[in-house]
Amino acid sequence: MTNKVILIYALVIIEVIAIFILGSKIYTKQNNTAMIINPITKENLLFSSEGNLKNFYEHKPKRIMKDEGGKEIVNTINSDALNERFEYTTDKPKDTFRIISLGDSFTYGFGVNTPDNYSEVLEDLLNNELYCKNFKRFEVINLGVQGYDIEYAAERFRRRGQKYNPDLVIWLIKDDDFLPREVPLGPMLDSLERIQYQKKALRLFNTTYSKNPLLFLLFQITNKQRAALEDFTQSRDRTYMYAKISLSSEETIPGDGHPNKKGHRAFAEGLFEYITQNKIIPCD
């Protein structure tokens, strides 16, 4: 057997193993501090072959999810496959400022009840504490899904988000969101290759959402990743980066790393302060 044939067999075996590992769970993420595993059972998901993403998935609508861990966690999935308390009309109500939140399990609210994720808390803060002559109502629509990378979050916006005609998009991005889900050997890519891959996804996102403000909420990203996002921010009007949030041990789920109820409130309060201080919402 020639060396070339041996190499081909080895590459095939490596790819099969990688596919098996990725397929055994919906997603496994690794960052610099801990392994975070977010299993989602396939019977609770919708898979779609639409577009170029072969493995894209969303939650099934009109369903209540309960965590099988130590305590019961209830997530309500509305008719548009969103982890939300409410249904939202496609047509934006008069005098309403509408926000969409994008991201992975941190945005989705893994490990907390639906009313306690940061999108819901921010919505309540805006409606209860922000006086604004221009708007009578604020909506924050949560498009987060466990295991999403940047490309999947951008596709989620294209499929679910743009029809809501948001006035602002808030996108939480973490270190492991640069790991491509759609690439079978994605974990073998080096950091620069991952960044280049996801920069293409950002450019595509900008074709579906380019006129209104975009706010990146950055959490535990590397300097190279931040530089890539800064380049994108500078190339786009009314684009902001907020990276001052960190979580204490009291604000995370033990042994997991996801924000708990206190952590989500910290995200929401930080966002509320940043949005109001920088006048991202035009209030007189």
Cβ proximity of 87 and 78 under 8 Å: yes
Cα-based angle 258, 259, 263 (whole degrees, multiple of 5): 165
Q: What are the boundaries of each domain within the chain?
A: 3-277
- Tell me, what's the pLDDT at 30? 34
Q: Tell me the one-letter amino acid at 269.
A: E
Strand partners, 64: 76
Name the DSSP class of 122: H
Cβ proximity of 59 and 42 under 8 Å: no
Cβ proximity of 83 and 109 under 8 Å: yes
pLDDT tens readout for residues 51-61:
678 888 988 87
Cβ proximity of 236 and 189 under 8 Å: no
Mean pLDDT is lowest, of 15-24, 115-124, 189-198, for: 15-24
Is the pLDDT at 36 greater than 80? The verdict is no
Q: Is 240 exposed, middle or buried (0-12, 13-18, 19+ CB in 10 A)?
A: middle
Is the pLDDT at 34 greater than 70? The verdict is no
Query: What average pLDDT score do residues 225-251 get?
Result: 92
- Tell me, what's the pLDDT at 42? 66
Is the pLDDT at 103 greater than 90? The verdict is yes
Name the DSSP class of 157: I
Query: What average pLDDT score do residues 106-120 get?
Result: 95
- Tell me, what's the pLDDT at 70? 55
- Tell me, what's the pLDDT at 183? 86
Q: Tell me the one-letter amino acid at 52.
A: N
pLDDT tens readout for residues 80-89:
999 999 999 9
Kindly indicate the confidence band of residue 99, based on its pLDDT and cuts at 50, 70 and 90: very high
Kindly indicate the confidence band of residue 38, based on its pLDDT and cuts at 50, 70 and 90: very low
- Tell me, what's the pLDDT at 113? 93
Contacts of 79 (CB under 8 A, 6+ apart): 61, 62, 87
For 10, what's the count of Cα atoms within 13 Å in the CB-facing half-sphere?
7
Collapsing DSSP to helix, strand or coil, 212 comes out as coil
- Top pLDDT among 35 and 249 is at 249
The mean pLDDT of the chain is 83
Across 177-181, 189-193, 244-248, which has the greatest mean pLDDT?
177-181
CA distance 171 to 12: 36
- Tell me, what's the pLDDT at 127? 97
Kindly indicate the confidence band of residue 65, based on its pLDDT and cuts at 50, 70 and 90: low
Is the pLDDT at 10 greater than 80? The verdict is no
CATH topology of domain 3-277: Rossmann fold (3.40.50)
Q: And the tokens for 243?
A: 């990276």
Query: What average pLDDT score do residues 240-267 get?
Result: 91
CA dihedral sign of residues 274, 126, 103, 168: negative
- Top pLDDT among 55 and 96 is at 96
- Tell me, what's the pLDDT at 23? 39
Mean pLDDT is lowest, of 69-73, 116-120, 193-197, for: 69-73
- Tell me, what's the pLDDT at 18? 39
